């Protein structure tokens, strides 16, 4: 993460004394990600491959939490951490390095942290993961990694998620998470993505928590399968009959969204970039869209910003390592306006950034320090 990120609060004009302290709440497994970079091709069976670079960072749900926090949102994460060095490293990186609230998180004695090894090459990545599901938290024991002066912990999650402006959930067929309904009843806007349906049914009624969602953000293939349509835009309109906001990501073609309340639609093309590693790009897109929605931007601006942050992320290696902050956004906007032969209409699409960004920014491209276990930044 850049250490000089401008202190931009996208919600500053909307904050009021009685608002919740938490902007976005999320939960899920945290992995230790070890990323090998500089591979010219996929590893070959029976041989040893040497990578020219390596980094490590918290992964899993930490990708989304980091992306939200770097965009200036007060982020609370409920997760299990192992009491090993990996867990201690991830806790410290998220709490101290990113400013993420971990008061709802807990450490599990004797449980080792899940690990993912990611190999990035040819614009794609191959991952190998290992881990066991963490036992459910019980009681109100203080987190092992928390400082001695930390406040008393809240009731054990998932029974009492904190009051928040928004929450991010990952839907799965046949599964309902009680905390989602609780968060929605307490006023949180629920933003949800979804994974591949291994059952092959692709039944929206099998996603019970969809009824609590403000926004649903599947990719084009998922959206078309769930709606039995053959066009991503038609799929978005069909989904907008089930949720207030339907957002379908189209990969290299950008994204399309429909506001189910008003019928308004917006399409934004993708920004052409040289992709080094797509890990975490979907999480960054959601984080950008959540930011714009909570800031009450127009729908097209939200889509454009989400697409921009995702495009910036794929130009770096790693998941949470690559999540951009306002420094990266400002540097990109400064650069793109000075390039010759820019399409005026394309530049106008991002003109809303002028009111958000500082007058000066560092030169682009930026290079981040890559955290590694055992070294202090």
- Model pTM score: 0.88
pLDDT score recorded for residue 120: 78
Please tell me the distance from the alpha carbon of residue 182 to that of residue 4, in angstroms, as a whole number: 37
Residue 160: pLDDT over 50 = yes
At 342, is the pLDDT very low, low, confident or very high (cuts 50, 70, 90)? confident
Residue 370: pLDDT over 60 = no
The b-or-e profile of 256-277 (16+ CB within 10 A means b, else e) is bbbebeeeebbbbebbeeebbb
Residue 133: pLDDT over 50 = yes
184 versus 368: the higher-pLDDT residue is 184
Please tell me the distance from the alpha carbon of residue 168 to that of residue 183, in angstroms, as a whole number: 10
DSSP result, 306-362: HHHHHHHHTTSSSSGGG---HHHHHHHHHHHTTSTT--HHHHHHTGGGGGTS-S--P
pLDDT score recorded for residue 377: 44
> Could you tell me the two tokens for 62?
């930490």
The b-or-e profile of 56-68 (16+ CB within 10 A means b, else e) is bbbbbbbbbbbbb
| Residue 172 contacts residue 150 (beta carbons within 8 Å) | no
Residue 375: pLDDT over 60 = no
């Amino acid at each position: 993460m850049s250490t000089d990120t401008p202190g931009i609060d996208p919600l500053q004009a909307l904050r009021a004394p009685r608002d919740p302290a938490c902007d976005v709440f999320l939960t899920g497994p945290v992995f230790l990600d070890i990323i090998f970079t500089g591979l010219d091709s996929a590893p070959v069976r029976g041989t040893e491959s040497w990578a020219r670079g390596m980094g490590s960072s918290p992964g899993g749900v930490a990708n989304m939490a980091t992306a939200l926090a770097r965009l200036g949102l007060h982020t609370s994460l409920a997760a299990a951490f192992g009491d090993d060095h990996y867990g201690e490293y991830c806790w410290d990186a998220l709490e101290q390095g990113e400013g993420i609230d971990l008061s709802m998180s807990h450490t599990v004695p004797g449980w080792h942290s899940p690990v993912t090894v990611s190999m990035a090459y040819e614009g794609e990545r191959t991952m190998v993961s290992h881990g066991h599901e963490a036992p459910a938290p019980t009681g109100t024991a203080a987190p092992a990694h928390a400082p001695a002066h930390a406040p008393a912990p809240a009731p054990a999650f998932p029974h009492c998620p904190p009051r928040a402006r928004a929450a991010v959930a990952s839907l799965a067929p046949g599964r309902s998470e009680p905390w989602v309904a609780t968060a929605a009843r307490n006023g949180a806007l629920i933003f949800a993505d979804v994974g591949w349906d291994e059952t092959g049914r692709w039944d929206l009624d099998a996603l019970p928590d969809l009824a609590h969602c403000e926004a649903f953000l599947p990719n084009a293939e998922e959206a078309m399968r769930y709606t039995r349509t053959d066009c991503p835009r038609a799929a978005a309109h069909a989904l907008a009959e089930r949720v207030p906001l339907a957002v379908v990501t189209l990969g290299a073609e950008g994204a399309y969204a429909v506001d189910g309340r008003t019928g308004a639609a917006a399409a934004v093309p993708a920004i052409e970039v040289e992709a080094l590693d797509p890990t975490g790009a979907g999480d960054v897109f959601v984080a950008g869209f959540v930011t714009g929605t909570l800031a009450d931007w127009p729908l097209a601006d939200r889509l454009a910003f989400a697409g921009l942050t995702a495009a910036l992320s794929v130009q770096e290696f790693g998941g949470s390592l690559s999540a951009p902050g306002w420094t990266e956004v400002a540097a990109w906007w400064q650069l793109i306006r000075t390039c010759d032969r820019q399409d005026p209409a394309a530049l106008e699409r991002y003109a809303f950034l002028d009111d958000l960004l500082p007058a000066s920014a560092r030169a682009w491209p930026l290079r981040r320090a890559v955290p590694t276990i055992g070294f202090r930044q």
